[in-house]
Amino acid sequence: MIHRLEFEDLVRAALREDAPFGDPFGAAFRGSGCGSFLAGAPGVFCGGPVAAEVFRQLDPAVSATFVEEGRRFSAGERVGEAGGPVGSLLRGERVALNFLQRLSGIATAAARFAEKVAPYGTRILDTRKTTPLHRSLEKYAVRTGGGANHRFSLSDGVLIKENGIRAAGGIAEAVAAARKSVHHLIRVEVEVESIEDAERAVRAGADALLLDNMLPETVGEAVRRFGETVFLEASGGIHLGNIEEYARTGVPAISIGALTHSAPALDISFELAT
């Protein structure tokens, strides 16, 4: 689960963005009503606590309940319901749906990748390619779908990428600089694009290697040569169509930026009862 403190302010900002001066049409309705959240496509549900928080902040008189997080559903299935003052339901539906569609889309994408690699024991990791200020929610959605989280921020660990290597003057120099600037509990990972660079990083004392844009056979060679020495993850150019080829190499983790930067929103709608 995710704690309300991680999204309370975000929900407040989203409501202010969507209706900074109220909803002139919704305010015309004084009665109460109820409605259902319906799935327009199959997927994995995520975001119920966030959608419920939307209505909680708008109007305590609204009651909103949703199916459990991580539940798989079919097209046409009801995944939640809300009841209370009609004006409040109308004002909150779009913001609630935006969160539900986005987070369920990410969870669904993560589940599809995780299912592909499950037989091989490979973990699916996300990246920092997230929507600004939505990182906690989007990484939560990845976990809900069966994936795992890479570092949450630059403060969590060192991943030396191409520009960092250039800035330092080489792989060995970059690893040395990292070791001097962090405490002993911080793991140092190096992004490499060839077996030769992997060798340099291992010799320099890297704890982990990110095998970037390598072919499956090259990843397999890296696993055979370095898998007992450092942690390995593959990334770049990996998608649902070829991910099993990478998982078969024995690489313990595959990071997928598309989980958060381009997962399609899931079709979920809200329909008032008539």
- Catalytic, 8? Answer no
**What is the residue extent of each domain of the chain?**
4-114+263-272, 117-261
User: Which CATH superfamily does the domain covering 4-114+263-272 fall into?
Assistant: Quinolinate phosphoribosyl transferase, N-terminal domain (3.90.1170.20)
What is the structure's pLDDT at 56?
97
The model's pTM is 0.95
Catalytic residue among 71, 129, 187, 248: 129
Q: Which of 130, 191, 131 is nearest to 166 (CA)?
A: 191
Catalytic (active site) residue 191: yes
| Residue 187 annotated in active site | no
- Angstrom distance (rounded) from CA 62 to CA 34: 9
- Decide yes or no: CATH 3.20.20.70 for domain 117-261: yes
Which residues share a beta bridge with 204?
none
pLDDT at 6: 94
Of residues 69, 138, 191, 207, which has the active-site annotation? 191
Among residues 69, 138, 189, 212, the one annotated as catalytic is: 212
Dihedral, CA of residue 61, residue 67, residue 69 and residue 74, to nearest 10: -140
Q: Which of 8, 23, 71, 94 is catalytic?
A: 94
Tell me the residue length of the chain.
274
pLDDT (tens place) for every residue of the chain, 274 residues total: 899 999 999 999 999 999 999 888 888 888 999 999 999 999 999 999 999 999 999 999 999 999 999 999 999 999 999 999 999 999 999 999 999 999 999 999 999 999 999 999 999 999 999 999 999 999 999 999 999 999 999 999 999 999 999 999 999 999 999 999 999 889 999 999 999 999 999 999 999 999 999 999 999 999 999 999 999 999 999 999 999 999 999 999 999 999 999 999 999 999 999 6
User: Of the residues 12, 161, 166, 225, which is catalytic?
Assistant: 161
94 is catalytic: yes
116 part of the active site: no
